[in-house]
Amino acid sequence: MDYKHVIKQMTLEEKVSLLSGKNFWESQELERLNVPGMFLADGPHGIRRQAAAADHLGLNESIPATCYPTAATVANSWDVELAQEVGTHLGREAASQQVNVLLGPGMNIKRNPLCGRNFEYFSEDPYLTGKMAAAYVRGIQAGGIGAHVSGAPSTSRGIAACIKHFAVNNQETRRMSIDVVVDERTLREIYLTGFEIAVREGRPRVVMSSYNKVNGEYTNENMHLLREILREEWGFQGCVVTDWGGGNERVRGLLAGNELEMPGTGGESNREVLEAVRRGELEEAVVDEALERLLALADETSQALVWKNQKIPRDHHQTACKAAEESIVLLKNQDTILPLDTSKTLAVIGDFAQTPRYQGAGSSRVNPTQLESALDRLESSELRIIGYEPGFHRFGKKSSDLVERACGLAAQADTVLLYLGLDEVSEAEGVDRTSLALPENQLDLLEALVGVHSRIVVILSCGSVIEMPWIDGVSAVVHGYLGGQAGAQAMVRVLLGLVNPSGKLAETYPKTYLDVPSGANFPGGQATVEYREGPYVGYRYFDRQPGGIQFPFGFGLSYTSFEYHDLRVDSRGARFTLRNTGALAGKEVVQLYIQGPGQAVYRPEKELKGFTKVHLEPGESREVHLAFDAYSFRFFNLKKNAWDVESGMYTIFIGASSRDIRLQASLSVQGSDCGNLYDLRSLEPYFTGEVENIEEPTFAALVGRPLPETHWGNRIPMGYNDPLARTKYARGWFGRLTHSLIIFTHWLLWKIGQRDTANLIMMSFYNMPFRGIAKMMGGMVSRRMAEGFLMMVNGHFFKGFTRLITKEKQEKEVEYEYRT
């Protein structure tokens, strides 16, 4: 298709109509010129194309699709080839369901372990995040059904992957209005490097802009992020789509290069663009530039959809099982209680054994093609299962009777398999967690079982970090994270020793939340969240501390053992020999960390700069080579506004985790003289790494400007971009009543057990800005109607009510005129 020629044939109205969605999931087509529309669907770990009513919250059931382990799970595999294989299968299924753009992978950094969406993200480390995300993207975009089904044309194009959420979207609380205050160096090195790797190495066709502001400007209209960095610096040639309802000022978004607004707004955004062009505020050439990218995306992805409704191959479930197996992390194995002895009797306890917790909640929720429970798998194995007890109510209700029955069963068995974890409403899009602890009723059960049994194997099912003050009382801990539809099968195979666990943690496990450096600044104030810890996220902070962690980044045990020796380092990379010294075949994730000279540039103790997963038979040795790359030695030099390398002596570490360093060597690197780059007096905590309680003047010095006001203040008039949470301080009685009703409704729903709906209240109302009310309603609520409601909460009830009603009528008249 000659896109420029097609665009020249369009009227201005037709051009503008293509820049916003047709409905909730589809982009607009133009039949007159054979321009196809596109279907965009959620799916970081499976396709969520809804057959009936559409929503962004995971409420309505979708067409069955393979539910793979979540990104947080697969990240523990540290296996880029496996990630690409999963991506390939995702691409196949998306094409079969006629999905042009798969909205994933999610790749935001796990700044804080309480982020409610951490189950959907890879890691606290940008290098690991970027490499895994790039692999997913390559697989998804090569996995169009046309490239893999017999008889398909060889010229078929793949569907598009959409990496998200760009950028610095590291919390769910007030995600649509929060202003992230972060210094440029931390922004570049921690929060953008993963995206950079994914763009440069994965070459995604689509990037999704996030809801939040970054340093005072919404990301969907942020020229620095979208134009200067994403397009000019990284060379991104694809399309940028807003997160659903995440568009702010549509014209400013277009100027920044945000081509597509989703979902559709009933033509309201189109009118804004049309009027801006006619007034001369927006050049038509900007519209044409956006359209050229959109047409290319629609045309190329549509070529992958010629093979429709293909049956999902059986190997997709097998790949889901393989991904889960490779990602299971063995955290403790006292007295080698695992693999399980098939001659011993077993008691199976825990609700999650019977009803699996296998994926997260919200927009990523997949309707699996099949699902199995751990209990069924255990009972069909050669293990001697004497019985099962749930032990606790899934959503937290206490029951002494359930505990008593579980203890009675446990006393009759040689070993207890105890399935614990977080329920579906504890980890969900739109809300952050409030604690790192397991639910209290599960802790009560665990305490009671420890009192009657000495051989307890805990199997964990949750998508993010938890505290484990109880770990000394149990014999083994196996973490399955959220293993997808085949997770139960994968776990039983590991427990039996049919699979040697090889997963390693992609995030640090602190002993308590009090040890987390960002804890004092999460989720921030009412208007802003300040990243006062700078680059010291996860192990970058903890590796400077003598204690404070339960398990380090990169940690994971095996049923065998490995020996590292003979390290050789040169300008190209590091070489060493790895040997399996145990009696079983196994896989080891070897990790390359680099420590900077530590002279003129503040840095973490060490940073991950390479990794690979190596399979070895018993007694086998292999030479491993980890190459240096463009990311190995660089830092972002603010004075040059560019990446730079500091001259000096670097230390190269090879380890089994960030705290288990097996080999090290030194390497002299030539770069720039970085003397006098920083004022040590004003930034001393960033040189020492003691960033737990950074004072405001120190952080302001790091950011390089005065800090914005972080609180809304009482009784201040609310604005269009304020969330409904701010109605607590509204001038008018109607606003304060609205706030009280939201809070009461949430409390009541939670009390009666409707916790999914309670979470929905917080996500879709409490933390939703007035802007979002209009953007998410597909044109049913206009901006002027939302502004009328805003006038009502600001104390002008009758004036706002009148405006709401009259403007609704006027908008319908204008809409009719526009469409005709």
Catalytic residues: 243
Assigned token pair, 427 = 């980890």
SS3 738: helix
Q: For residue 142, how many C-alpha atoms fall within 13 Å in the half-sphere facing its CB?
A: 14
Query: Cα–Cα distance between 194 and 189 in angstroms, integer?
Result: 9
**Strands of the 648-655 sheet, one edge to the other:** 607-616, 586-595, 648-655, 661-669
Measured CA to CA, the distance from residue 624 to residue 607 in angstroms comes to 19
Respond yes or no on whether the N-terminal peptide bond of residue 604 is cis (omega within 30° of 0). Answer: no
CB 769 within 8 A of CB 720: yes
Residue 776's Cα: distance from chain center in Å?
Answer: 22
Return d(Cα 426, Cα 758) in angstroms, integer: 12
Using a 10 angstrom Cβ sphere, with 0-12 exposed, 13-18 middle and 19 or more buried, the burial of residue 810 is exposed
Q: In the chain, count H helices and then E strands.
A: 25, 26
d(CA 693, CA 514): 12
Q: Kindly compute the dihedral angle of the four CA atoms of residues 708, 714, 718, 724, in this order, to the nearest 10 degrees.
A: 100
Buried b (16+ CB within 10 A) or exposed e, 56-93: bbbeeebbbbbbbbbbbbbbbbbbbebbbbbbbbbbbb
690 Cβ contact partners less than 8 Å away, ≥ 6 residues apart: none
The type of residue at 10 is M
Contact, 480 vs 464, CB < 8 A?
no
Quote the tokens at residue 301: 């992805």
Backbone angles phi, psi at 177, to 5 degrees: -135, -15
Report how far apart, in Å, the C-alpha atoms of 100 and of each of 91, 258, 711 are. Answer: 9, 18, 42
Cβ neighbours of 661 (radius 10 Å): 16
With beta carbons less than 8 A apart as the criterion, state whether 56 and 81 touch: no
Instruction: Report yes or no: 523 and 531 within 8 Å, Cβ to Cβ.
Output: no
d(CA 42, CA 366) in angstroms, rounded, equals: 9
Instruction: Please state, in angstroms and rounded to a whole number, the distance separating the CA atoms of residues 766 and 457.
Output: 41
CA distance 690 to 604: 11
Residue 28 Cα distances to 16, 21, 38, 263, 290, angstroms: 10, 6, 7, 10, 14
Q: 33 with 1: CB under 8 angstroms?
A: no
Rounded CA gap, 63 and 496, in Å?
A: 34
SS3 call for 47? coil
Nearest to 537 by CA among 512, 510, 562, 557: 510
Nearest Cα to Cα of residue 539 among 88, 58, 109, 95: 109
- Cis peptide, bond prior to residue 105, ω within 30 of zero: yes
Q: Is 700 exposed, middle or buried (0-12, 13-18, 19+ CB in 10 A)?
A: middle
Pairing of strands 621-627, 456-461: unpaired
Q: Residue 310 and residue 657: Cα distance in Å, rounded?
A: 43
Instruction: Tell me how many degrees the CA angle 360-365-366 measures, rounded to the nearest 5.
Output: 125
Tokens of 161: 């992957």
**DSSP run (H or E) holding 293:** helix 284-302
